[in-house]
Structure 1
Amino acid sequence: MKKIIILSLLVLLFGACKEKTKFSYSVTVSAPEEYPVEVHEGWLMDDQKKFICAMPKAGKEGGGWEYDGSKAGQGGSKIPYHLNLTYVAYAEKKFYTVDADLPVDKILEEFNKGFDVEADHKVDGEYPLVHDTYNTFTIGAAPGGVIVIWLSAGHHRVEICRLQAKEVFVDRNDFYDNANERTQEGFFDKMFEIQLPEVAQEEIREKGIPFGLWDNYRERFKYRFVLQPYDDKDKFTFQSVGYFNGEANLFYLPNLNKNDYTLVGIPNIAKLSFTRYNTDIEFNDQEMLSVFKKLQSKHPNKPMDILVVPTFMYKDFKLSVKCEDEIIPLTKYQVKGVWGG
């Protein structure tokens, strides 16, 4: 009888956890570093079309596609059903607006799914893995009105959806408090010079804006990192991988021992730890897209391995991508450093 009662309580507890529909989160806005944006106005609404929170007005946002943007006191706990956002894209000299329903089931699924993370205290001499979930709702804005929404927490980040914003007219005096005699065109020209890095300004003048790039980043491939040490005793002990599509994953032991393939975007930066050493490796987006697509065209639906081969005494690393019996060396990655020993 006692076992039946305990089992019933566990079932009820599992059901309650599974059906959780409220999660506390902050709301942020982000953009690629070279293509900053700034919020004009916007809000999130719940399933009753009631206001949850405003979009954070924290000035220019352009810290990078992989970052969450500034926290400016906006957030909620109800699952958002609708997004409204109007913003200025300084590189394009345009205002954009997006007014769209959100994939509620996907948001709930990811909140409930969460992730495993190391606890902040040891148990029996080790840091156990504990379950956690996301605490930030980020709206990313890229050139061409590309809107991508992520949930994130620390080094965990997952894409929720991609939306399309459309160009809209907003009078610069309604947006900018310091009204003056500048025309709308004059306002855009001046803010282009102020808000964009000089390198980005020159590149846009010479090559234009690479529309479509951020949708290319969203293509997924099935792959994993494989260590090929000269000492067979060495192994991965930790992986933190950020992807060009804005997502990020942490992989701990014992999950690393499973050596599973994951369906994710191309890697941006990988922080890899081994038995004695650790390193940070940055990848080139165009090289990774080219190599992955080439291998996938020749080996359809076959998973790939990014081979990580340390040189003597772990002074450097040689990387390549393998699919079945074909190996393509990588040449444009950067090893940012090697530590430990």
Structure 2
Amino acid sequence: MEEKYSWLGTISAPQEYPMEIYKGAIVANDFSYTFDAIWGTQNTGWGKEGGTMSVETEKMGIPHQLDFTWYSLVENKFFTGKWDLNKEKIKTLFEEGFVDQDTHKKMTYNSFVVGLAPQGRVVLWIKGPGNQKEVGAFQAHDTLITREKAYDNAQYMFKEGFADRMLNDPSYKTFKPEVLEKIKKQGYPPSDIYNVYREKYNWKPVVVLPEGAEWIDFGFTSYNGEQENIFDQSLKDNTYKSRAIPRFCGFYWRDKNKNKYAVWVDSFDEKEIFELFQKLGKDKQIDFTIKVNQDNTQVLLSLVAEKQSLSINKAKIRVSRKIE
């Protein structure tokens, strides 16, 4: 008998590219988690989950198919597609699970995140606390849906000027103020950037601390939407892995007097970090290095591979002492 798990579904879309949900489903043998126009406009950020809707079923089978149709406001197009999922890969992830950093107990994933990107690109992630992994990437095709064929709850998408109002009328608050300001200054990001985000390099984190200090953990999210926490045994092992470029990272450490500190790299300059990784290439083992100075107040970032060391100069960094 097939093992069943508790899982829900949610939507992710780039902040600059809002998507309007038309209909969709994550399909298992005994259950379909469905989406329709009630989900509305989605642009929480690439890889970031939106809202979820509870279901009566406590445990469901492993999904084997994804079916989705949506309206891309910026591109002014509907996209649709139906794809088979790698059920064995998903089953393995559910079975392996992960150790929760807070409870130190083994647990497993509890939701699927459907990512909708420009040009009909679709990514599906599986998510649990502090962990998110890509389970598939797919290509939709554009389709024509008319107001006459649309179901009642989706009629609003076909009102004249709907996309223009959602994108340009501040009263709709489609964009966060900082995102809207960025679009006004720089325009929309290249629509194929969400393919570039999926490119991976062979890297690991390396933290250099003052003498006598202890490195506790390291957590990061990547531009491709994946998320990973390294601590305890995984921190001791800390091996090179094929990973996408980090978008955010943070870690804790204790100095020789057992005072606890934290570093948060809140954001990188996207152009800089991608150029540095690309300069080193995908064939080298790369140390993503964070060096803390002697008084625990400042850090230096760099990428190190073989005899090359490239400084990361434009990241936004916070260093703080934690009171326990």
Band the TM-score falls in, shorter-chain normalisation: 0.7 to 0.9
Contact 1:91 1:192 in 2 (8 A): yes
Give SS of 2:50's match: coil
Supply the RMSD in Å over aligned alpha carbons.
2.6
Pairing 1:215–2:195 present:
yes
Give SS of 1:290's match: helix
Pairing 1:268–2:276 present:
no
Q: Residues 283-328 of structure 1: CA distance to partner in whole angstroms, max 9, x if unpaired?
A: 23322221111112xxx62211111112342222110110011100
Give SS of 1:221's match: strand
Contact 2:289 2:302 in 1 (8 A): yes
Pairing 1:65–2:53 present:
no
Contact 1:219 1:265 in 2 (8 A): yes
How much has 1:40 moved relative to structure 2?
A: 1.1
Task: Determine the C-alpha separation between the residues in 2 that align with 1:274 and 1:84.
Answer: 45
2:85 aligned to which of 86, 102, 106: 102
How much has 1:214 moved relative to structure 2?
A: 0.9
Pairing 1:155–2:133 present:
no
Contact 2:269 2:315 in 1 (8 A): yes
Give SS of 1:254's match: helix
Give SS of 2:42's match: coil
Q: Which residue of 2 aligns with 1:242?
A: 221
Task: Determine the C-alpha separation between the residues in 1 that align with 2:270 and 2:151.
Answer: 35
2:263 aligned to which of 272, 276, 279: 279
Contact 1:113 1:133 in 2 (8 A): yes
Give SS of 2:271's match: helix
How much has 1:190 moved relative to structure 2?
A: 2.0
Q: Give the stretch that moved more between structures: 200-209 or 215-224.
A: 200-209
How much has 1:337 moved relative to structure 2?
A: 4.0
How much has 1:240 moved relative to structure 2?
A: 1.1
Give SS of 1:332's match: coil
1:177-188 equivalence runs, <5 A: 177=153, 186-188=161-163
How much has 1:151 moved relative to structure 2?
A: 0.3
Letter in 2 for 1:290: E
Task: Determine the C-alpha separation between the residues in 2 that align with 1:176 and 1:333.
Answer: 47
Task: Determine the C-alpha separation between the residues in 2 that align with 1:132 and 1:31.
Answer: 27
Pairing 1:140–2:115 present:
yes
2:276 aligned to which of 288, 291, 295: 291
Q: Which residue of 2 aligns with 1:255?
A: 234
Task: Determine the C-alpha separation between the residues in 2 that align with 1:243 and 1:37.
Answer: 22
Task: Determine the C-alpha separation between the residues in 2 that align with 1:206 and 1:157.
Answer: 30
Q: Per the alignment, do residues 339 and 218 of structure 1 end up closer, same or farther by CA in structure 2, a change over 3 Å counting? A: same
How much has 1:54 moved relative to structure 2?
A: 0.9
Give SS of 1:144's match: helix
Larger Rg: 1
How much has 1:146 moved relative to structure 2?
A: 1.1
Contact 1:58 1:72 in 2 (8 A): no
Q: Per the alignment, do residues 67 and 178 of structure 1 end up closer, same or farther by CA in structure 2, a change over 3 Å counting? A: closer
Task: Determine the C-alpha separation between the residues in 2 that align with 1:35 and 1:172.
Answer: 23
Q: Structure 1 unaligned runs (5+)?
A: 1-18, 121-128
Contact 1:139 1:147 in 2 (8 A): yes
How much has 1:157 moved relative to structure 2?
A: 0.2
Task: Determine the C-alpha separation between the residues in 2 that align with 1:116 and 1:266.
Answer: 23
Pairing 1:189–2:189 present:
no
Q: Which residue of 1 aligns with 2:8?
A: 26
Q: Which residue of 2 aligns with 1:82?
A: 65
Letter in 2 for 1:85: F
Pairing 1:307–2:282 present:
no
Q: Give the stretch that moved more between structures: 275-284 or 51-60.
A: 51-60
Q: Per the alignment, do residues 72 and 312 of structure 1 end up closer, same or farther by CA in structure 2, a change over 3 Å counting? A: same
Give SS of 2:5's match: strand
How much has 1:44 moved relative to structure 2?
A: 2.8
- Give me the TM-score of the superposition, normalised by structure 2: 0.86
Q: How many correspondences in the alignment?
A: 308
Letter in 1 for 2:9: V
